[in-house]
Amino acid sequence: MTSETAAGHTTVEIDRPGALPTAAQQAAAAKDKVLTSPDAIEAARSALGEITEPLSVGRYAASRQLDKRLITHLFECNLTGYRGWRWAVTMSRPPRGRTATICELELLPGEEALLAPAWVPWADRLRPGDTTRSDRLPRRETDERLEPGWEATGEEEGDTVALDELDLGRARVLSAEGYRRAAQRWYDGDHGPDAEGVRKAHATCSTCGFLVPMAGRLRNTFGVCANEWAADDGRVVSLDHGCGAHSETDLPDQGPEWPVAPSRLDEEAMEPLATNGTDLRGGHGRDEAGAQEQQEQAESAPAGADAAPEESAPEESAPEPEAASASQRAASARDAVADLALEREHHDATQRPAAADALAQLEASLPTRS
């Protein structure tokens, strides 16, 4: 049994002959007193013992009349893995006969039986979107979506001219029904006015500079998007469709997410001094520069000593501090070492008696052996 859904999909309903009969079917079967008698039902149960274990046959379920003097008795199935299945025993009798004859024994699926999907032909099972570019579909000679692209007039030259002028050159073209289906499918899809996000767009595609107009019957309803930043790039969109990549969007340029502060380094005012230590020292080596520095310090030492008495004069300004000579730095270092040694010796002298007293107290507190 087949049926068609609202979306156009063909579904196949699986026949379940083991399902319980309706009340009317049971009432019709009960009219045959011979085939529905307790003796006939017990004979049907006993016959199932020839094809299965007696324990696998459950309680009696119902009877269904298949034809005149032809009735099927149903019994529940107790086999593991066959939930919802029923044992069926078909019995018949001759006209005016009083003895039931067993015709068939079988296991049939009921309402809750787990079955494989029904076989659907390939042409009915395949849906739009299931194929790829490499798949090849069979030709349909009668397709309501297509119509002949030209009409023969009996004159080959006239037919050829008509084909060239109309730019058809195809055996079949879209019919009115084909145009209607395509337009309705595109308009109701993700590229129509009711797609997600269209309501947030401030303008429609009809005013966008990236819309490529279409030719033919659909030019007043659809176009092709040519904006690489749009989600519909390269797709057919309705003129009342819209997105945030409109050419005339009203959103101003917000600039970078992080503000760029101007550089505080003036590269034009920088003057390169040198690229090595020799150039920085005026062409002298490291040893020569060190000897020259010591000589300058030695020459400046007397000048510093002579300038010391003048510091007491309040009306004269104090001279600028000068670098100490090498001998003065050495003397200062020796004095510092001597002071440090003296301080260390004083510290040890003060800590030694305290440590001795603490040791004596510790020994006095320890218990002694008798």
328 in a structural domain: no
11 and 100 fall within a common domain: yes
Give residue-wise pLDDT tens across range 129-162.
Answer: 787 767 777 777 787 887 777 655 555 554 444 4
On whether residue 344 sits in a domain, the answer given is: no
Would 142 be classed as within a structural domain?
Answer: no
Question: Which of 249, 278, 312 is the last residue in one of the domains?
Answer: 249
Does residue 125 lie within any of the structural domains? Answer: no
Domain-embedded: residue 269: no
Which domain range does residue 61 map to? 6-109
Does residue 30 lie within any of the structural domains? yes
Strands (E), 42-133: 57-67, 70-77, 85-92, 101-109
What letter does residue 196 receive in the DSSP assignment? T
pLDDT in tens, 209-252: 999 999 888 999 999 999 988 888 999 999 999 888 888 876 66
**Is the pTM for the entire model greater than 0.95?**
no
Q: Cα(187)–Cα(194) distance, rounded to whole angstroms? A: 8
Residues 26 and 90 in one domain: yes
Residue 169 lies in a domain: yes
Domain finish residue from 249, 282, 308: 249
User: Which of the residue ranges 108-122, 138-152, 260-274, 289-303 would you say has the lowest mean pLDDT?
Assistant: 260-274
Would you say residue 223 lies in a domain? yes
Residue 284 — very low, low, confident or very high, per pLDDT cuts 50/70/90?
A: low
The number of domains in the chain is: 2
Return d(Cα 205, Cα 207) in angstroms, integer: 5
Token output for 300: 């400046």
CA dist., res. 114 & res. 82, Å (int): 8
Please identify which residue in the block is written with the tokens 């195809």: 170
Determine the residue type at 264: R
Q: 155 or 118, which is more confident?
A: 118
Report the alpha-carbon angle 283-320-293, nearest 5.
25
**Whose CA is closest to 111, among 15, 177, 44?**
15
Q: Which of 249, 271, 292 is the last residue of a domain?
A: 249
